[in-house]
Copies of this chain bind each other. A is one copy, B any other.
Amino acid sequence: MFSTKGRYALRVMIDLAQQNPDEYVPLKDIAERQDISKKYLEIIVKDLVRGKLIAGVSGKGGGYKLTKSPEEYSVGQIIELLEGSIAPVACLAKDAKKCPREEVCKTLPMWTEFYELEKDFFFNKKLSDLVNS
């Protein structure tokens, strides 16, 4: 189950996509509109900046804005950045240590099949798809 981090990140991105793309939007405004603690959003937004999905400037008139247009972001990359991995099982996550049962595992093909389905869904779903709805 996806946590608030990934879900809130998506909401921040959607919020930014709905604002003037040339203006920096202060986090305070996003927090109020989305009704999420600004303090908590700081953590999330930090990751979004680190991942270069948004850019921030300090000081008066500062805030955050998207670095690209909404069609250029996939939901998958936003969630993955915040959640670490969207793999259904630990052994399929990118940083997973090799499972000793890999060769005999009766469930691995199913997990892999589902993971492909999931990636297909979330990486083809664009931020712009969510804004226009």
0/1 per residue, A63-100, Cβ < 8 Å to B? 00000000000010000000001011110010000000
Query: Of B2, B85, B93, B130, which contacts A106 at CB under 8 A?
Result: B130
Residues 113 to 133 of chain A near chain B (Cβ within 8 Å) = 113-114, 117-118, 121-122, 125, 129-131, 133
Distance in angstroms between the alpha carbons of A106 and B121 in the assembled complex: 17
Q: Is A14 an interface residue (CB 8 A)?
A: yes
Query: Of B1, B89, B118, which contacts A89 at CB under 8 A?
Result: B1
B107 and A1 form a contact (CB under 8 A): no
Query: Of B87, B101, B110, B122, which contacts A130 at CB under 8 A?
Result: B110
Distance in angstroms between the alpha carbons of A129 and B88 in the assembled complex: 19
Distance in angstroms between the alpha carbons of A14 and B129 in the assembled complex: 40
Q: Can you list 19 A-B pairs, Cβ within 8 angstroms, ordered by A? A: A1-B87, A1-B89, A1-B90, A1-B93, A2-B89, A7-B89, A11-B107, A14-B106, A35-B101, A75-B110, A106-B131, A110-B129, A110-B130, A113-B121, A114-B118, A114-B122, A117-B117, A117-B121, A118-B118
A: residues with CB less than 8 A from B are: 1-2, 7, 10-11, 14, 35, 75, 85, 87-90, 93, 101, 106-107, 109-110, 113-114, 117-118, 121-122, 125, 129-131, 133
